Structure formats: structure tokens, C-alpha cells
């Protein structure tokens, strides 16, 4: 293998180039190469300045995450960045792509930083449950101030080059496409500058109130997470102290987080997300079909949200409804959503117009004839869907991909209503479809490999995390939700309250509990609409129009500001059902709630794996983290189960009389894990 770092003399400037695809991660060979280049520059009197630049899609995107937890190879990144800064000759970082994590820390250690306008800078370590461990907590506050450092290091979102220049992180912008030449010219310009600007020697101005204000403002966002709290503590404790003292503290905290369970879970999710894009049984080199135009059937909440994904990615959409007023309402909502995003400053008015300009509203399915991908997003009714797919079969051009956004229904049955089942699959978006990251790609028995590859490619284009699921009721996510809902309701009958169950789930790290979720989504969803037919607690609530937040009453009562309180009426309804069903009651403990609502999900996940409905356990974790708010720092249900111990999960399930998945039992007996 070629060495990833090469050097070349351009007159009196040494250009150090990294070529370590795909993202120029700072693995051992890269660090060693950079170290050798510094030695070369120091030892050659003819060299007056050094440029560090990367080939390929990006500047260093961070430390090499695959090295974490493995035996350590010299030089470490913290040592290397200090060596860069200590160079007696000016070092210029020439940045394109994404300078992330360790990559941003390398740039911070250089004496001068130049970037093209499309470049981005960020400290995403927090998303891996870590903190910037190569001087980032020390150099960024010195360069950009404590506020910017807190924001970037605790939230992990990158900032564009222009903003980086405003805050002092970039010294000069380069022209797109001319970075290397302009960086060399810059290096010549500063070759004689002394003293060299060394970030670590700069002072940090601190206002002690900043930290508590920041903690309070972000308390909800950081709930349950170790890394953001540690980052704030480190910056607070070291601001105003000498750099050498600061990095010692940084190192200690980095190691502490690295050994912790949360970082292990978050690193698992990082790789799980990327693994999910790989499809079993698809021949290598299978090419995606070109998707230049998309059709969406149904302009309701789902159809509108789905369309927005494509419009935002610059792909034209024809959206079809049956009636003009429904079509107008749907497109109106889309425009309103875009305008709300613009009002928050996350889009320009121009971008809103550009996206809406790509939308072609229509009342005729015939207008879908030129679409490469058509997604049906009408209500859940098999007969209706079959009729639509039958029509599509006559209208769509050959090779067009026909997708259903169904959340439960059998894709093979839908596909059978066409003469081209190889072109049919499920694309299950999650509401709100323009926001939620997850996309379940449902693989029918006859779905062609290139159709699957196209779905994964398109998903990446519209910035979704896609997971392949097999055809079964509810696919991966909703199928696992079912035992949870059933048990949550059974627990109500046996003596628990909605607030106790919700409290346990929120305490676990979910954004909300099952009953809070029911009230938000609508208690009447999926209800048979017959108020005289009351077979369960949900029917009873729905019959009284306790449909959730939208009605001011559901499993909870709501005031004008939608603040919930416990409902005596709901307590009475539950009591009534207890008596009617003669359900014996007992003291339900929080532990029992975990066993019956979360262990049962793991059990269902194991059955899904057993039946081959998910390709791998980590795919199930991705579904739950990106589609249902499972706390990422717990790594998804299957990863969490591994940590709990599968023997304990089996014992918990057996204690409550559940039928244990054969795969789960086998793994528990052999002492194996899912991941």
C-alpha cells in the first residue's frame, strides 16, 4: 500500500499532502507521515514554510475511529498537533471538504488557516460520546471564544467556512479549485513572519456566568448524555489556565468518556448507520437507476412531507391528488413548512422559491408517465393501494420504480397487482417525513437488486438513513412497537398508571412515553370510529373524543398551553375496565415496566432477525434510534440488550410468561451477543 502522506518541494515551500481515502482519517500511518514531514521541513534550510493539504473529498475528517480501543501507535494525535504548533517554520492548513474532530484540531494547531468557501469546520466528537481530545477544548476557545467553542463542541454541528472566518477560525478564504496554489502563495507571504501565531499561547477571556447560562439553556437537549456535560466542565475548569494544564485535564476526560458505555453505544450507531446501507445478496457492481423525476400520489401530511425531501434535494416532483381543494391544501402546507424553515434562518427565500418551483401539482395520474420513481402515499387500505398500483402499471414508463409508503401492508400483494413486481418495493417514511431521518426500504420477494440499490442511493441523496426490511406486518419498527403498546396497556389494567409508564420511558431516555406519544399522534388513529363498540381502554377514550392533544384530552388532560396533567376521568375509565375484565392487580414496579415493555421489544427484534426480516441486529438499532427516538447513547434495543445481558433478558421474559424467541434463547445460552 502506498504511504498516505507525500511531500513535494514547491520552491521554498514544502507541500505535505494526505491521500487516505475515503475521508483522510488521521490513522497511525497518516500521523507518522505528518510527523516525518515536520522533521523533513525542520531539517532543510531551503524550506521556509509548510502547507498541509488533503486529496480526495475532504481535509482530515477526524481521528480514525476504527483505531479506538486498539493498541496505541505513536505518535498520538495530541502529541502531533503540539509538534505542528511548535514548528519553527510557519505551517498553513489548506482546508476543503470537512475539517472535523481531529482534522479541525490539526487546523487549529497550524499557524495559519486557509479554506475554500465550501469547506466546513466542526467538532463532532460529542456525537460519538467523546470530547475533542487533541487540544480542541483548549485551542478553539482561544481562537474563537468560549461561546463558539461551547456551541461547536457540545452540539457537534459543523459551521461553514464564511462563519469560521467570522469567528477567527479561518484566516483567509481561497478560491474554489485554486486552494493548493493560493495556499502556497500564502505560505510564501508569511514565510518570514515572526513571532509565529501560536494558538496555545493566546489568552481566553472568560465570563463565569457563561457556563451556567449555557447549561441551563441546553438542559433539555443534553438530558441523559455524559459528553456535553463533561465538555462544558472541561472548558470551564481550564479557561484562563495555562495550555499545558488544560490539555492534561482534556486528556483525562477524553479517556474517561472513551471507556464509558455511552461512547461505546454511540460509536456502535455510527458504524451501524453506515453498515445499514449495505444490502445482502446484491451482486457487486449493481448500478442504480437514474432518478431525475419523482411522482408522489397523495398530498396529505405524508405525501407532502415525502415530496419536500426531493424538492429540497433539487429533484422535481409531480404530486397527484383527486380533488383540487385537497391538492391546494397539501401544497399550501408544504409552502408554509418551507417558509417556517426560512423564518428560522435555515433557508433563504430564494431557496424556498426554488424548491416550490420544482413542484408540479396535478389532478391526473397520467402526469406520472415521465417519472422515474413514483411513491404512493394514500391511506392504509389494501384494495385502494392495489387499484392505484394497477393503474400505475398502465401509466408508468418501463423501468420506473413503483413504491408504497405503507407502514404495515404486504408489499408482495401490492406488487402482484402489477405486471412488474421486480420494480415494486416499500419506501416507509416516518412522520414528519421531511424531518425524520429514517427510511425503511421494504424488499419484496421479487424486488430487483438494482431497484434496492437505487432506493439506497436516493435515500442518501435526500439525507435519510435507510434500512432494508423484509415483508412482515409493521416491518421492523412498527412491528416492535406492537408488543410494547400491548404490554403498556396490560400494565394499566394490572395497576400501573399512564404517568408511571411514561416516566419510566422518559427516564430511560426516550423523548416521550407510550401514552404521551399516543396523545401527540392521536388516540383515534386506527380507531374503528364506532363509539358504541368499546372493547379496550383506547376505544373508551376515543368514544369520548379524548383523541389526545388536539382535543385537549387523551390519556392526560391538557390546559390551554398543552401542559398535561393526570386525568381523573382516565383513571375512572381504567378502573372500569379492570372491573369488567376482572384483571387482578398488583404493585407494578418500574423494573416490571422495563421488563414488559422493553424486553418484549428485544424479543420481537430477535424474532425479526430469526425470520430474516432484518439483515442484521445493528439495522434494528438504526431503525429505533432514527425512527423512534431511542436514546442514541443506549445504542438501540439490540445493543442495549447485549449490555443488559441476554440471560437476564430471557429470565425477565420468562418471569412474565412470554414466549421467548429461539434465537434470543440460543444466544443467551451460548453467552453470545447480537452485535
DSSP state of 450: H
CA 461 centroid distance within chain: 14
632 binds ligand 3H9, rule: CB under 6 A = no
According to CB under 6 A, which one of 80, 128, 149, 388 is a site residue for ligand 3H9?
Answer: 128
Catalytic residue among 105, 250, 273, 595: 105
Q: Which residue's entry shows cell 485535564?
A: 249
According to CB under 6 A, which one of 39, 66, 348, 566 is a site residue for ligand 3H9?
Answer: 66
Rounded CA-CA distance 584/23 in Å is: 59
Rounded CA-CA distance 85/82 in Å is: 5
* Choice between 63 and 159, CB closer to ligand 3H9: 63
65 binds ligand 3H9, rule: CB under 6 A = yes
Nearest Cα to Cα of residue 185 among 8, 9, 13: 13
DSSP state of 223: T
* Choice between 98 and 238, CB closer to ligand 3H9: 98
Sole window of 37-45, 101-109, 490-498, 665-673 interacting with ligand 3H9 (rule: CB under 6 A): 101-109
* Choice between 77 and 614, CB closer to ligand 3H9: 77
- C-alpha distances in Å from residue 285, one per residue of 76, 273, 280: 38, 21, 13
**3-class DSSP state of 511:** coil
635 binds ligand 3H9, rule: CB under 6 A = no
Q: How far is the CB of 663 from ligand 3H9 (least distance, A)?
A: 26
105 binds ligand 3H9, rule: CB under 6 A = yes
456 binds ligand 3H9, rule: CB under 6 A = no
61 binds ligand 3H9, rule: CB under 6 A = yes
* Choice between 77 and 359, CB closer to ligand 3H9: 77
Sole window of 19-27, 139-147, 162-170, 235-243 interacting with ligand 3H9 (rule: CB under 6 A): 19-27
Q: How far is the CB of 225 from ligand 3H9 (least distance, A)?
A: 16
What region, left, alpha or beta, does residue 361 occupy, with left being phi > 0 and alpha being psi -120 to 50 degrees?
beta
**3-class DSSP state of 558:** strand
The reply to whether 125 belongs to the active site is yes
Q: Are 172 and 110 in contact (CB under 8 A)?
A: no
Q: Residues of 596-622 as b/e, b for ≥16 C-beta within 10 angstroms? A: bbbbbbbbbbbbbbeeebbbbbbbbbb
According to CB under 6 A, which one of 14, 94, 134, 452 is a site residue for ligand 3H9?
Answer: 134
**3-class DSSP state of 284:** coil
Q: How far is the CB of 122 from ligand 3H9 (least distance, A)?
A: 8
According to CB under 6 A, which one of 30, 37, 77, 234 is a site residue for ligand 3H9?
Answer: 77
Q: How far is the CB of 157 from ligand 3H9 (least distance, A)?
A: 11
Phi, psi of 345 (to 5 degrees): 80, 10
- Interface map 232-271 toward ligand 3H9 (x if CB under 6 A): ----------------------------------------
According to CB under 6 A, which one of 25, 152, 164, 276 is a site residue for ligand 3H9?
Answer: 25
Q: How far is the CB of 619 from ligand 3H9 (least distance, A)?
A: 14
Rounded CA-CA distance 104/60 in Å is: 8
Q: What is the dihedral of CA 539, 540, 542, 546, to 10 degrees?
A: -150
Rounded CA-CA distance 545/377 in Å is: 27
228 binds ligand 3H9, rule: CB under 6 A = no
Sole window of 46-54, 57-65, 429-437, 443-451 interacting with ligand 3H9 (rule: CB under 6 A): 57-65
124 binds ligand 3H9, rule: CB under 6 A = yes
* Choice between 22 and 281, CB closer to ligand 3H9: 22
* Choice between 62 and 498, CB closer to ligand 3H9: 62
22 binds ligand 3H9, rule: CB under 6 A = yes
Site for ligand 3H9 in 360-399 (CB under 6 A): none
* Choice between 274 and 562, CB closer to ligand 3H9: 274
100 binds ligand 3H9, rule: CB under 6 A = yes
Q: For residue 136, count other CB atoms closer than 10 A to its CB.
A: 28
Judged by CB under 6 A, the number of residues near ligand 3H9 is 25
Q: Which positions ≥6 away from 140 have C-beta within 8 Å?
A: 104, 108, 123, 132, 148, 149, 152, 153, 169
Q: Are 96 and 61 in contact (CB under 8 A)?
A: no
Rounded CA-CA distance 202/467 in Å is: 47
Helix/strand/coil percent split, the chain, to 5: 50, 10, 35
- C-alpha distances in Å from residue 116, one per residue of 57, 132, 430, 503, 551: 13, 23, 36, 48, 52
According to CB under 6 A, which one of 4, 90, 132, 141 is a site residue for ligand 3H9?
Answer: 132
According to CB under 6 A, which one of 30, 38, 90, 125 is a site residue for ligand 3H9?
Answer: 125
Greatest C-alpha distance within the chain:
92
Sole window of 58-66, 573-581, 582-590, 656-664 interacting with ligand 3H9 (rule: CB under 6 A): 58-66
According to CB under 6 A, which one of 98, 210, 447, 549 is a site residue for ligand 3H9?
Answer: 98
426 binds ligand 3H9, rule: CB under 6 A = no
According to CB under 6 A, which one of 4, 33, 133, 636 is a site residue for ligand 3H9?
Answer: 133
64 binds ligand 3H9, rule: CB under 6 A = yes
Nearest Cα to Cα of residue 268 among 276, 114, 284: 276
598 binds ligand 3H9, rule: CB under 6 A = no
* Choice between 135 and 470, CB closer to ligand 3H9: 135
According to CB under 6 A, which one of 13, 15, 59, 62 is a site residue for ligand 3H9?
Answer: 62
Crossing angle, helix 226-238 and helix 146-155, to 10 degrees? 160
CA 4 centroid distance within chain: 30
Q: Computed over its alpha carbons, how large is the radius of gyration of the chain?
A: 28
Q: Which helix (H) or strand (E) holds 466?
A: strand 465-469
Q: How far is the CB of 204 from ligand 3H9 (least distance, A)?
A: 19
Q: How far is the CB of 99 from ligand 3H9 (least distance, A)?
A: 10
| Paired strand residues for 359 | 317
Q: How far is the CB of 219 from ligand 3H9 (least distance, A)?
A: 24
What region, left, alpha or beta, does residue 177 occupy, with left being phi > 0 and alpha being psi -120 to 50 degrees?
left
* Choice between 204 and 456, CB closer to ligand 3H9: 456
The reply to whether 105 belongs to the active site is yes
Rounded CA-CA distance 179/192 in Å is: 21
Site for ligand 3H9 in 270-329 (CB under 6 A): 274
Catalytic residue among 85, 125, 151, 376: 125
Rounded CA-CA distance 594/606 in Å is: 17
Determine whether 233 is exposed, middle or buried from the number of CB atoms within 10 Å of its CB (0-12, 13-18, 19+). Answer: middle
Sole window of 79-87, 123-131, 164-172, 377-385 interacting with ligand 3H9 (rule: CB under 6 A): 123-131
549 binds ligand 3H9, rule: CB under 6 A = no
- Where on the chain is the footprint of ligand 3H9 (CB under 6 A)? 22-23, 25, 58, 61-66, 77, 98, 100-102, 105, 124-125, 128, 130, 132-134, 136, 274
Catalytic residues: 105, 125
Amino acid at each position: 500500500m502506498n504511504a498516505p502522506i507525500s511531500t513535494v518541494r514547491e520552491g521554498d515551500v514544502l507541500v505535505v499532502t494526505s491521500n487516505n481515502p475515503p475521508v483522510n482519517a488521521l490513522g497511525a500511518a497518516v500521523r507518522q507521515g505528518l510527523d516525518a514531514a515536520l522533521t523533513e521541513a525542520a531539517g532543510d534550510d531551503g524550506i521556509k514554510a509548510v502547507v498541509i493539504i488533503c486529496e480526495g473529498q475532504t481535509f482530515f475528517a477526524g481521528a480514525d475511529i476504527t483505531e479506538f480501543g486498539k493498541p496505541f501507535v505513536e505518535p498520538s494525535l495530541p502529541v502531533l498537533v503540539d509538534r505542528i504548533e511548535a514548528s519553527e517554520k510557519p505551517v498553513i492548513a489548506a482546508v476543503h471538504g470537512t475539517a472535523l474532530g481531529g482534522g479541525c484540531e490539526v487546523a487549529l494547531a497550524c499557524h495559519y488557516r486557509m479554506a475554500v468557501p465550501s469547506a466546513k469546520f466542526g467538532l463532532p466528537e460529542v456525537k460519538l460520546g467523546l470530547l475533542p481530545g487533541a487540544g480542541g477544548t483548549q485551542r478553539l476557545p482561544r481562537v474563537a471564544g468560549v461561546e463558539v467553542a461551547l456551541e461547536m463542541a457540545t452540539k457537534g454541528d459543523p459551521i461553514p467556512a464564511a462563519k469560521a472566518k467570522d469567528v477567527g477560525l479561518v484566516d483567509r478564504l481561497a478560491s474554489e479549485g485554486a486552494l493548493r496554489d493560493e495556499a502556497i502563495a500564502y505560505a510564501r507571504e508569511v514565510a518570514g513572519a515572526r513571532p509565529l501565531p501560536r494558538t496555545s499561547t493566546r489568552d481566553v477571556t472568560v465570563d463565569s456566568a457563561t457556563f451556567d447560562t449555557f447549561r441551563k439553556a441546553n438542559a433539555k437537549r443534553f438530558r441523559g448524555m455524559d459528553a456535553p456535560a463533561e465538555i462544558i466542565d472541561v472548558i470551564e475548569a481550564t479557561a484562563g489556565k495555562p495550555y499545558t494544564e488544560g490539555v492534561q485535564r482534556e486528556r483525562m476526560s477524553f479517556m474517561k468518556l472513551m471507556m464509558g458505555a455511552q461512547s461505546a453505544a454511540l460509536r456502535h450507531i455510527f458504524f451501524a448507520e453506515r453498515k445499514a446501507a449495505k444490502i445482502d445478496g446484491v451482486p457487486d457492481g449493481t448500478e442504480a437507476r437514474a432518478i431525475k423525476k419523482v411522482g408522489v400520489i397523495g398530498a396529505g401530511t405524508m405525501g407532502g412531507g415525502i415530496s419536500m425531501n426531493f424538492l429540497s434535494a433539487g429533484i422535481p416532483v409531480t404530486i397527484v391528488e383527486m380533488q383540487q381543494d385537497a391538492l391546494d391544501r397539501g401544497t399550501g402546507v408544504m409552502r408554509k413548512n418551507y417558509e417556517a424553515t426560512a423564518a428560522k434562518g435555515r433557508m433563504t427565500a430564494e431557496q424556498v422559491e426554488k424548491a416550490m418551483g420544482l413542484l408540479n401539482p396535478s389532478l391526473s395520474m397520467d402526469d406520472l408517465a415521465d417519472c422515474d420513481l413514483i411513491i404512493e402515499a394514500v391511506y392504509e387500505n389494501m384494495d385502494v393501494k392495489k387499484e392505484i398500483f394497477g393503474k400505475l402499471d398502465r401509466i408508468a414508463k418501463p423501468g420506473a420504480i413503483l413504491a408504497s409508503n405503507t407502514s404495515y401492508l404486504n408489499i408482495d400483494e401490492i406488487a402482484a397487482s402489477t405486471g412488474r413486481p421486480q420494480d415494486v418495493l416499500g419506501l416507509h417514511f416516518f412522520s414528519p417525513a421531511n424531518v425524520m431521518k429514517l427510511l425503511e426500504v421494504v424488499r419484496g420477494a421479487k424486488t430487483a437488486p438494482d431497484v434496492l440499490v437505487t432506493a439506497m442511493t436516493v435515500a442518501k441523496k435526500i439525507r435519510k438513513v435507510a434500512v432494508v426490511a423484509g415483508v412482515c406486518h409493521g416491518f421492523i419498527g412498527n412491528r416492535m412497537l406492537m408488543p410494547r403498546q400491548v404490554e403498556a396497556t396490560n400494565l394499566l389494567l394490572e395497576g400501573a398508571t399512564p404517568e408511571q409508564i411514561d416516566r419510566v420511558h422518559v427516564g430511560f431516555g426516550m423523548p416521550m412515553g407510550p401514552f404521551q406519544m399516543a396523545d401527540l399522534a392521536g388516540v383515534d388513529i386506527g380507531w374503528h370510529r364506532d363509539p358504541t363498540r368499546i372493547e379496550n381502554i383506547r376505544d373508551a377514550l376515543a368514544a369520548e373524543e379524548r383523541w389526545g392533544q388536539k382535543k385537549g384530552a387523551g390519556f392526560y388532560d391538557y390546559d390551554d398551553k398543552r401542559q398535561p396533567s393526570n386525568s381523573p376521568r382516565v383513571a375512572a375509565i381504567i378502573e372500569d375496565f379492570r372491573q369488567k375484565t376482572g384483571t387482578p392487580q398488583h404493585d407494578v414496579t418500574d423494573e416490571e415496566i422495563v421488563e414488559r415493555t422493553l424486553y418484549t421489544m428485544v424479543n420481537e427484534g430477535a424474532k425479526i432477525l430469526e425470520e430474516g426480516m432484518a439483515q442484521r441486529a445493528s439495522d434494528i438499532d438504526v431503525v429505533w434510534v432514527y425512527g423512534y427516538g431511542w436514546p442514541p447513547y443506549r445504542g438501540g434495543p439490540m445493543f442495549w440488550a447485549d449490555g443488559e445481558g441476554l440471560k437476564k433478558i430471557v429470565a425477565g421474559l420468562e418471569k412474565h410468561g412470554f414466549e421467548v424467541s429461539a434465537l434470543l434463547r440460543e444466544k443467551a445460552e451460548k453467552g453470545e451477543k447480537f452485535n
